[in-house]
């Protein structure tokens, strides 16, 4: 029984290390065409990542969960949705990087 405990402990340490060293990539630059009849459209389409559900944006749900799991670096590709980068401006986090196609 003691060997099983050691093996599980090693597996847990390995999993935690793997998670902490893995970079997560989230693609959030879609146009949201199918949602145009439900949500207000901007010049760049509908920013699905910023749709609110129970007072929180969808992208915030994702990043919060990933951070709680233990991921230390999350990259969000926001395409031409500059509003995603603006959304995180007042929430500085060293584990989050947001890229846009606009320079």
Give domain status of residue 92, yes or no: yes
Give the side-chain half-sphere CA count within 13 A for 82: 4
Instruction: Determine how β-strand 73-77 pairs with β-strand 96-99.
Output: parallel
Give domain status of residue 16, yes or no: no
| pTM of the model as a whole | 0.73
Mean pLDDT of 36-43: 71
Instruction: Scan for tokens 């606009």, then name that residue.
Output: 102
Mean pLDDT of 19-28: 90
The first and second tokens of residue 99, run together, are 């890229």
- Number of domains into which the chain is organized: 1
Confidence of residue 64 (pLDDT cuts 50, 70, 90): very high
Give yes or no for a contact between 33 and 45, defined as CB atoms under 8 angstroms apart.
yes
Confidence of residue 66 (pLDDT cuts 50, 70, 90): very high
pLDDT surpassing 60 at residue 74: yes
> Residue 57 is part of which domain span?
21-99
In angstroms, the CA 75 to CA 28 distance is 10
CATH value at residue 32: 3.90.550.10
């Amino acid at each position: 029984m003691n060997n099983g405990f050691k093996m599980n402990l090693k597996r847990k340490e390995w999993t935690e290390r793997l998670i902490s060293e893995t970079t997560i990539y989230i693609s959030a630059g879609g146009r949201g065409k199918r949602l145009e009849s439900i949500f207000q459209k901007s010049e760049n389409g509908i920013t699905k990542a910023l749709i609110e559900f129970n007072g929180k944006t969808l992208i915030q749900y994702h990043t919060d969960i990933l951070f709680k799991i233990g991921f230390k670096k999350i990259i969000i590709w926001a395409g031409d949705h500059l509003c995603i980068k603006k959304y995180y401006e007042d929430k500085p986090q060293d584990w989050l990087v947001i890229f846009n196609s606009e320079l």
